[in-house]
Amino acid sequence: MQDLMKGKRGLIMGVANDHSIAWGIAKALQAQGAELAFTYQGEALGKRVKPLAQSLGADTVLSCDVEDLASVDSAFAALKAKWGGLDFLVHAIAFSDKNELKGRYADTTRENFSRTMLISCFSFTEIAKRAAELMPETGGSMITLTFGGSVRVMPNYNVMGVAKAALEASVRYLAADFGPRKIRINSISAGPVRTLAGSGIGDARAMFAFQQKHSPLGRGVTLEELGGSALYLLSDLSGGVTGEIHYVDSGYNVISMPRPEELKG
């Protein structure tokens, strides 16, 4: 199939570099004809994101730090001035103090709990509201990124697991809020990928290796595979789908216990 996204314009939030999940998604969308705009967090990352955006023909690259509401509003005002409308949105943003992505969840501080929830969960609600205002009467589609540590305990994932659980609940509530506007809201629950954010989790390598080894497919997932699933959720192919948590994790989430022979190896 070709040109699934032709004539559609979308905002990609969360590219840090060419290992970012948002970058894999951006490439898949652009390859199917989408016109893209990007945001970046801070000038240091902007230096990396601008050339990447240009390589996909995107000339709208906006600064946006979701901790600062004025920065969110100014990015959306700039997008409105430039495009006047928006068809889809990718939210691939998360942050927590890496000192609390190890050890016990019980030791999470009040300050980091609030900050993690604001950046990794509530930012999607604030952004979805602004993006919806730009979407046409014919509707639109938005996705965010989550992880299976939301529903089952993953060592060291801690407060981020709690934030992802709240993010997944937000997806369902936002799907109900915006359904009457024909705007669909879904999320991809990705298997572990080696990214900047992923490397902040304690013992990340061991967790990645365990999940890959014990998933039905016996391997990790690629940025191309995540891009393909995002393309499905953001295109008309998934027209009847909203409020979903779509797992792209080599099937790891369905496993209760590895086969005994795997445990011996």
User: Which residues lie near ligand NAD (CB under 6 A)?
Assistant: 14-16, 20-22, 41, 45, 64-67, 92-95, 119, 145-147, 190, 192-193, 195-198
* Cβ-based nearer residue to ligand NAD, 187 or 242: 187
Confirm whether residue 195 is marked as ligand binding. yes
Residues in Cβ contact with 257 at an 8 Å cutoff, skipping those fewer than 6 apart: none
Confirm whether residue 8 is marked as ligand binding. no
Looking at 40, 157, 232, 247, which residue is catalytic?
Answer: 157
Name the minimum Å distance from CB 182 to ligand NAD.
25
Confirm whether residue 145 is marked as ligand binding. no
Please, what sign has the CA dihedral across residues 164, 126, 57, 44? negative
Please, what sign has the CA dihedral across residues 167, 173, 177, 181? positive
Name the minimum Å distance from CB 16 to ligand NAD.
3
Confirm whether residue 41 is marked as ligand binding. yes
Confirm whether residue 138 is marked as ligand binding. no
Question: With 0-12 CB in 10 A as exposed, 13-18 as middle and 19+ as buried, what is 181?
Answer: middle
Q: Report the distance separating Cα 33 and Cα 24, nearest Å.
A: 15
Name the minimum Å distance from CB 146 to ligand NAD.
6
* Cβ-based nearer residue to ligand NAD, 45 or 151: 45
Backbone angles phi, psi at 111, to 5 degrees: -65, -45
Name the minimum Å distance from CB 238 to ligand NAD.
19
Q: Report the distance separating Cα 208 and Cα 138, nearest Å.
A: 40
Q: Annotated catalytic, 102?
A: no
Looking at 8, 164, 232, 247, which residue is catalytic?
Answer: 164
* Cβ-based nearer residue to ligand NAD, 139 or 251: 251
Name the minimum Å distance from CB 92 to ligand NAD.
4
Whether 93 contacts 119, CB under 8 Å: yes
Q: Annotated catalytic, 164?
A: yes
205 sits in the region (left: phi over 0; alpha: psi -120 to 50; else beta) called: alpha
Burial state string for 64-103 with b = 16 or more CB within 10 A and e = fewer than 16: bbbeeeebbeebbebbeeebeebbbbbbbbbbbeeebbbe
- Look up residue 34 and give its two tokens: 């989408």
- State the amino acid at position 165 in one-letter form: A
Confirm whether residue 188 is marked as ligand binding. no
Give the residue numbers of the binding site. 14, 20-21, 41, 65-66, 93, 164, 193-197
Give the residue numbers of the binding site for NAD(+). 14, 20-21, 41, 65-66, 93, 164, 193-197
State the catalytic residues: 157, 164
